Structures are given as C-alpha cells and as structure tokens.
Amino acid sequence: MTEAAENVLVRQWVTMPGGSMDARMGVGLADRAGKELKSTLGKPRLAVLACTEGAPADHIERIRRSLTDAGFSVEQTMFPSGEAALSLDAVQPVLATLGELGATSGDGLVVVGDTGALSLASFVAKGWCNGISLMEYPLDLRAALEGSCTPLGFTVGAHPEMLTFPAATRYVYCDFGLMEPAFEGEEELFGRALMVCSAVADTEKAFGKLWDNIDAYAEGDAKIRATVIGDAFRSRGRVISSSSVVVRDSLGFGRTFLRALRPLVPSDVPPSSLFAEGMRFAARLAAGQGDLAVDDVAAIDEVLDAFGLGYIEDAPFTSEELAQALKNECFLRSNRFQMFIPKSFGRIRLSTLSDELLAEHAGAWVGARS
C-alpha cells in the first residue's frame, strides 16, 4: 500500500429498509471495530468474532485486539463460506454457538468472510433475540456489495436464492488491506458487475458517475476505489429502500440469465461473465421492444467492457434450449414469464416477453457464439 492509499477513508451512510448501514472504505479499518461497536451498544459485554477458513490471521487478530481494548469479552468461532453457507443447514450450528455463548441483543456479532458467510450472518443476526448488532468485514468486493447490503438467499433443493431475507448489517468495513488479495480475482469482477447493475437500476446520474470513474478505478486509485464502492452502496440502498416493490426488485437485472445459464455452460465459465452477459442480453431485449435507446445499450456494453467483464465465447446449447432455460427459471419463481428489462436508466421493470421476441434474441445470441 502506498502512503496515499494508507490515508484513504471514505464513509457512506446507506439507506436500508428499517434503518441505515454505516459503510466505510479505506485502510486500517480492523482497528476501529471495538470503538464503533461500543458506540452502538454502550457498555460492552460480549463480541462474537466469526471468520471463514483462510481469512487473514493478522487482520483477525487486529480486530480481536480492537474489541478487547474496547472492553469486550471476545469469543471466536468459524463460519462456513460459499455455497456451504447458503442453506438452512448452515444456520443451526451458528444458532447453537450463539446460545452456548449466551449472546443477547445487547451484544455484537463481527463477521469476516465472503458473500456466503456475510449473507448467513444477516439471516442469523436479524432473528437472534429480535436482532443482534452485526458488523461485517468483507473479503472481496462481491461480499461487500452483495453479502452485506443485499444478501444472497438460501438454496432450496437444487435451486439457488429461493429463500430470501433482508440485510441486518449495522456496519460494513471495506478494509483494502484485507481485501487486497481479491482485487484481481473473480469476486472483484463479479463486484464490478454488481456496480453496473446498481447504477443502471438507480439513476442516469449514478451511471454517468460510474462511467467517469472507471479508468481511475481500474488503475487502482485508492481514493476513487473507495468513492466508487461508496456510490454503489448508496445506489443499492436507495433501490432496496424504495416504497415500490417494482423498484426494489430491479436489482434482479441480469440475474435471471445468470441462473438460467449456469447449468448449461461448463463449470469454468466465470459467474461474472454470465452476469455481464445477462445484462447485455436484457438490454438488447429492451431495445428490441422499443423501450431502450440503442445508444444506452452501447453505453452499458462499454462500461461492462471497461470493467473487464468478459463474454461467453461458446454456446454448447441451441437457441431453443436457451429460451426454455430462461422460461424455466422465471416460472420457478413466478406464475408468469417476465424478465427484468431496462426501460431507461433508473427504470428497470419486469416485462412480459413474446415468444417471437425471445426466440429472435436467443437465436442471435447463440448464433454469434457458434
């Protein structure tokens, strides 16, 4: 880390359903855990510090020491990560641990982990003793924007994200020292796709600001990185806090395609590419319906490309199989075949698609990869 990076600290209050979340982006945030949790709880008693396997031991120790210095009795435990954390089977051991430790609503839960672990933490924290204060340290960008703000739902049977629930995060600290190993990985790329989705769902102004900062972000400017992440938090918070169900659901832009194609493509195809392709596909459907200007489709393409979000090069399935997979995914969650289509920036809506339009665009998509 450069000296300039070490001095970066950006704070963003994020509007959330039923409250707000304090998001901070910068370096050295592990040392703030105790002070901030104490300011929320008053007299410190117990802090449960949970981490996933492989979380950096030095950062865990700094968080533990910060909590201890603030007067908390710290009990450490492990959380599952990834898919293993995204089921009801993962909940019972966590609840048992909280019960054994005697954790109450007046105590704190501090979790260091990936998207799965942070999503699990929200589910547990929301219900434990009617709510336990939750502080999260994401290990990567995807975990920051998704796990803490819009947690992934639990898998039921073979189907992901079927049991959904709101975030319960009070604090999220994006410590760049902790996240640094993931800056060039798949979770960073998926997080960038989340940024694009958030900006398109929020406002044209939010999309324009993201566009303006892409180059500096890609170059690793720590101040810009912190600002862009803060902007994404703000966009996601505004969307999910809307009084309109239609608006709250708009962060599903691109996700239907992602889930539908996952079983159809090789396992080594990155989820970030599937997500990006989902947004590209939905934007073209919108243009085909006459709802989205061609220039706006091109703008979304350019931002995805500038963020390094890839394409699916080969399609080992027919256009008919693609169309059917999209329908199956939609009917799994609704009684109508509708997809999230961007009508304009800040206006993504569930739209009914004709079989002819879907067949046309599925054929074009598969044909370009044959």
pLDDT band per the 50, 70, 90 thresholds, residue 35: very high
pLDDT in the model for residue 184: 85
**DSSP E strand stretches across the chain:** 9-16, 19-26, 46-52, 73-79, 108-113, 133-138, 154-156, 159-163, 169-175, 338-344, 347-352
First-last CA distance in the chain: 44
Query: How is the chain split among helix, strand and coil, in percent rounded to 5?
Result: 55, 20, 25
DSSP 52-65: ETT--HHHHHHHHH
**pLDDT at 327 (0 to 100):** 97
113 in Cβ contact with 138 (< 8 Å): yes
Among residues 248, 244, 149, 135, the alpha carbon closest in space to that of 195 is found at 149
Rounded Cα–Cα distance for residues 254 and 112 (Å) = 28
Fold for 3-183, please state it: Rossmann fold (3.40.50)
Angle at 23 between CA 304 and CA 165, to 5 degrees: 80
| pLDDT at residue 5, rounded to an integer | 61
List the helix and strand counts (H, then E) for the chain: 16, 11
3-state secondary structure of 119: helix
| Model pLDDT for residues 230-267, shown as the tens digit of each residue | 999 999 999 999 999 999 999 999 999 999 999 999 99
Q: Please report, for the chain, the start and end positions of each structural domain, with discontinuous segments joined by +.
A: 3-183, 191-370
114 DSSP 8-state letter: -
Q: What local confidence, expressed as pLDDT, does residue 183 receive?
A: 87
The arithmetic mean of pLDDT across residues 264-293, rounded, is: 96
Q: What is the pLDDT of residue 370?
A: 77
Mean pLDDT, to the nearest integer, of 297-314?
96
Please name the residue that has the structure tokens 């020491």: 65
Question: Virtual CA dihedral for 353, 356, 361, 365, nearest 10 degrees?
Answer: 120
What integer pLDDT is reported at residue 30 of this predicted model?
94
Q: pTM of the prediction?
A: 0.95
Token output for 1: 């880390």
CATH superfamily of 191-370: Dehydroquinate synthase-like - alpha domain (1.20.1090.10)
* CA distances, 345 to each of 204, 225, 297 (Å): 5, 23, 10
| Residue-wise pLDDT tens digits, 46-102 | 999 999 999 999 999 999 999 999 999 999 999 999 999 999 999 999 999 999 999
- As a whole number, mean pLDDT of residues 270-282 equals 98
Residue 196: exposure state from Cβ atoms within 10 A (0-12, 13-18, ≥19): buried
How many CB atoms sit inside 10 A of residue 227's CB? Answer: 19
CA distance 96 to 80: 14
What does pLDDT average to over the chain?
95
At 8, the pLDDT band (50, 70, 90 cuts) reads confident
Contact 147, 172 (CB under 8 A): no
pLDDT in tens, 347-363: 999 999 999 999 999 99
Q: How confident is the model at residue 3 (pLDDT cuts 50, 70, 90)?
A: very low
Share of the chain above pLDDT 70, in %: 98
CA distance 16 to 27: 25
Tokens of 313: 């090069």
